């Protein structure tokens, strides 16, 4: 359980334990400051992890071996082919088979996981957006 989930209940306890409103307000302010420092420390740690991962990605992309440098593009193309099949190939093939009066069931792909993977590969997660908004990212 994170500290942010505990702030409201702790603030109520502070109100009951400290009758002086000014002292209670100071205690609540200190609680909020501690929560914010924890959030900033967590965000800072996540940024450092992302920087380290970016460096690993650069090293992999520059590698001479196709098996090291090519796995991301291969994964991207696999996702693109799967999405293409589901939204273009499958409907066209189904229409063509129906027009030719051929009764067969074509394979269908659950694209939910493909979209998650593609969005992650494109850096469209919330942290990336946060980095760009705060100017932390090199590419703004």
- Tell me how far the alpha carbon of residue 134 is from its chain's centroid: 17
On whether both 76 and 124 belong to a single domain, the answer is yes
On whether both 16 and 74 belong to a single domain, the answer is no
- In the listed set 25, 45, 64, which residue is the last one of a domain according to the structure? 64
- The average pLDDT across 49-73 equals 81
On whether both 37 and 75 belong to a single domain, the answer is no
Give the range of the structural domain holding residue 86, as residue numbers without chain letter: 70-140
Residue 26: pLDDT band (50, 70, 90) is: confident
pLDDT per residue over 36-52, tens digit each? 777 667 767 777 787 88
- Residue of 21 and 138 predicted with greater confidence: 21
On whether both 86 and 116 belong to a single domain, the answer is yes
pLDDT per residue over 98-131, tens digit each? 999 999 999 988 888 888 888 777 766 555 556 6
User: What's the mean pLDDT when you consider all of the chain?
Assistant: 79
| pLDDT value of position 1 | 46
CA distance 106 to 126: 36
- In the listed set 64, 98, 119, which residue is the last one of a domain according to the structure? 64
Three-class secondary structure of residue 16 per DSSP: helix
The Cα angle at residue 42 between residues 36 and 48, in degrees rounded to 5: 135
DSSP 27-66: HHHHHHHHHHHHHHHHHHHHHHHHHHHHHHHHHHHH-S-H
pLDDT per residue over 79-106, tens digit each? 899 999 999 999 999 999 999 999 999 9
- In the listed set 13, 39, 64, which residue is the last one of a domain according to the structure? 64
| pLDDT value of position 140 | 43
CA distance 85 to 109: 8
Burial class (CB in 10 A: 0-12, 13-18, 19+), 131: buried
Residue 64: pLDDT band (50, 70, 90) is: confident
On whether both 56 and 11 belong to a single domain, the answer is yes
């Amino acid at each position: 359980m994170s500290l942010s989930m505990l702030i409201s209940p702790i603030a109520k306890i502070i109100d009951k334990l400290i009758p002086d409103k000014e002292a209670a307000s100071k205690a609540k302010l200190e609680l909020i400051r501690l929560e914010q420092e924890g959030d900033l420390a967590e965000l800072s740690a996540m940024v450092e992890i992302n920087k380290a991962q970016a460096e690993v990605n650069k090293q992999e992309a520059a590698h001479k071996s196709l098996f090291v440098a090519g796995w991301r593009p291969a994964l991207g193309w696999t996702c693109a082919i799967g999405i293409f099949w589901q939204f273009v190939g499958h409907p066209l093939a189904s229409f063509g088979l129906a027009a030719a009066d051929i009764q067969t069931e074509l394979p269908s792909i659950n694209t939910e996981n493909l979209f998650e993977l593609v969005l992650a590969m494109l850096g469209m997660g919330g942290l990336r957006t946060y980095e760009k908004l705060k100017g932390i990212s090199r590419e703004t």
